[in-house]
Amino acid sequence: MTRCNRCGRTLKAPTATGLGPTCERYVLGSKPKRAPAVERRTVKRDELTPDLFAEDARQAVRRGFAAARERLAA
Ligand SMILES: [Zn+2]
């Protein structure tokens, strides 16, 4: 049975470093991120289409004020 060299936890399979995955990360740091398979293109912001989410949020705020006003008036 293989055990981690650092914490002695049993390992399912022997590793190159002799450490478990958690200790390996602790000792060696997290693995470097893989480069994206598809190169990211910078997205150009669409200034012509109205921002519907922002408009929806504005209206929700307005509805909230209207509801509060009604509560206070009642
Ligand atoms: Zn360990």
Residue-wise pLDDT tens digits, 37-65: 887 788 888 888 888 899 999 999 999 99
Say if residues 39 and 33 touch (Cβ distance below 8 Å): no
Domain boundaries, the chain: 2-31+48-73
pLDDT digits (tens, 9 = 90+) for 14-39: 988 899 989 998 888 877 778 878 87
Q: Which two tokens stand for residue 40?
A: 């990211």
Which residue in the block uniquely carries the two structure tokens 């049993």?
A: 10
Question: What distance in angstroms lies between residue 3's CA and the mean position of ligand 1's atoms?
Answer: 8
Residues less than 5 Å from ion ligand 1, measured at CB? 4, 6-7, 9, 20, 23
Give yes or no for a contact between 9 and 16, defined as CB atoms under 8 angstroms apart.
no
pTM: 0.39
Q: How far is the CA of 41 from the centre of ligand 1 (A)?
A: 40
Which H or E element spans position 3? strand 2-3
CA–chain centroid gap for 74, Å, is 44
